[in-house]
Amino acid sequence: MSKSLVYTKTGDKGKTSLIGGTRVPKNHYRLEAYGTVDELNTFIGMIRSYELDEVTDKQIIDIQHKLFYIGAFLATDSNVTDLREKIKYDEAVIEKLESEMDRMESELPPMKYFVLPGGHPAVSYCHISRTICRRTERRILSMMEESEIHPWVIRYVNRLSDYLFVLSRYLSKYYNINEIPWVPEL
């Protein structure tokens, strides 16, 4: 019987390896950053558990792939390996998110108020993903205080949170769910 590749026992004392082999504590700022990217990717995957149009499904899969690249970037110790230099930072990817937002927004009524999250599980997962995306951005910005971050990473994550908000509104329409506006009682 061969040994499992999932458990190595090397993290049993609270340390793990970055890409390149550098050992760091499991609460290291890098792990906070790429662990939050992983959490975000997981919740975005939940959106795909529901019926979606083909364009949206493809876009979400593409986003999940990009998040794996970002996670690899954040997990790489550039003092040990040049993997970070091999990762492609294509501005067209950000432009695609923007064009998808434009496409979805063209089918939506103008927004006059904030909306309360919910109405359908997929819509709720969009909002959960959006808030995790904002936390991801904060973790990456914290990491930036200690390590160089390619500006594309910040731009992509920032745009992704916008995309997730627009997607929540688009899916509300797709599932024929009424958005509930938040109207302050002042």
What's the CATH number where 32 sits? 1.20.1200.10
Task: Average the pLDDT over 97-103 and give the result.
Answer: 97
User: Is residue 102 included in any domain, yes or no?
Assistant: yes
Domain count across the chain: 1
User: Is residue 15 included in any domain, yes or no?
Assistant: no
User: Is residue 110 included in any domain, yes or no?
Assistant: yes
Full residue range of the structural domain in which residue 53 is found: 21-177
User: Is residue 46 included in any domain, yes or no?
Assistant: yes
Among the listed ranges 25-34, 40-49, 94-103, which one has the minimum average pLDDT value? 25-34
User: Is residue 36 included in any domain, yes or no?
Assistant: yes
User: Is residue 61 included in any domain, yes or no?
Assistant: yes
Indicate whether 90 pLDDT > 70. Answer: yes
Question: Is this structure's pTM higher than 0.75?
Answer: yes
Task: Average the pLDDT over 96-105 and give the result.
Answer: 97
30: which residues sit within 8 A by CB, 6+ positions away? Answer: 18, 24, 74, 75, 143, 147
User: Is residue 4 included in any domain, yes or no?
Assistant: no
Indicate whether 26 pLDDT > 90. Answer: no
User: Is residue 185 included in any domain, yes or no?
Assistant: no
